[in-house]
């Protein structure tokens, strides 16, 4: 494994751990929460926002990890956009078509939170984060075995 890919792998693993921890804590807090209690509600909102922020930088780091992986495999990239990288990863059979579709949805969701903040979108994304975490973690694990 070349040094750039090794570094990128270490970074994405740290991001994934951070997202996983935040998502787990949020889910745990929400499960036991009395949302009629204003203080508990504020804590849940704070944790939710933490999950969203970690999701945003993790999905950003993830597509860059895929880009580094593609380059390390000698694949020429005509573009440097997240969607292009995901599509090229599917074409190179690093990820399945289903995984590519889910990753493209994640990028869309990430873009929504970056441009417009709405409570419904925030709640949806916070609940979506564990699925995203699992998908990205499984892909990284699989690619590291190659």
Rounded Cα–Cα distance for residues 39 and 113 (Å): 24
Main-chain dihedrals φ then ψ at residue 94, nearest 5 degrees: -80, -30
CB-based contacts of 117, cutoff 8 Å, min separation 6: none
Place of tokens 């998502």: 23
Go through the domains of the chain in sequence order and give each one's CATH number: 3-145 (1.20.120.330)
- The pLDDT tens digits of the residues spanning 91-144 come to 999 999 999 999 999 898 887 776 656 777 778 888 888 888 999 999 999 998
The secondary structure of residue 93, as a DSSP letter, is T
pLDDT at residue 28 in the model = 78
Higher local confidence (pLDDT), 12 or 110: 12
Q: Give the angle 124-128-130 at the CA atoms, nearest 5°.
A: 145
Average pLDDT over residues 16-36: 79
Percent of the chain with pLDDT over 90: 45
Rounded Cα–Cα distance for residues 91 and 127 (Å): 29
CB-based contacts of 118, cutoff 8 Å, min separation 6: none
In a 3-state reduction of DSSP, which class is residue 65?
helix
The secondary structure of residue 95, as a DSSP letter, is S
Alpha carbon 31 to its chain's center: 22
Rounded Cα–Cα distance for residues 23 and 88 (Å): 29
């Amino acid at each position: 494994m070349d040094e750039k890919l090794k570094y990128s792998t270490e970074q994405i693993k740290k991001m994934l751990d951070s997202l996983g921890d935040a998502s787990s804590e949020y889910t745990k807090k929400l499960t036991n929460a009395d949302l009629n209690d204003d203080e508990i509600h504020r804590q849940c909102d704070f944790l939710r926002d933490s999950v969203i922020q970690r999701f945003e930088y993790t999905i950003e780091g993830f597509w860059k990890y895929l880009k580094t992986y593609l380059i390390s495999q000698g694949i020429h990239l005509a573009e440097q956009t997240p969607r292009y990288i995901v599509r090229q990863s599917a074409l190179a059979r690093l990820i399945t078509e289903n995984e590519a579709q889910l990753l493209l949805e994640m990028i869309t969701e990430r873009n929504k939170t970056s441009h417009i903040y709405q409570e419904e979108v925030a709640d949806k994304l916070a609940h979506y984060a564990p699925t995203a975490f699992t998908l990205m973690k499984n892909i990284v694990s699989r690619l590291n075995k190659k």
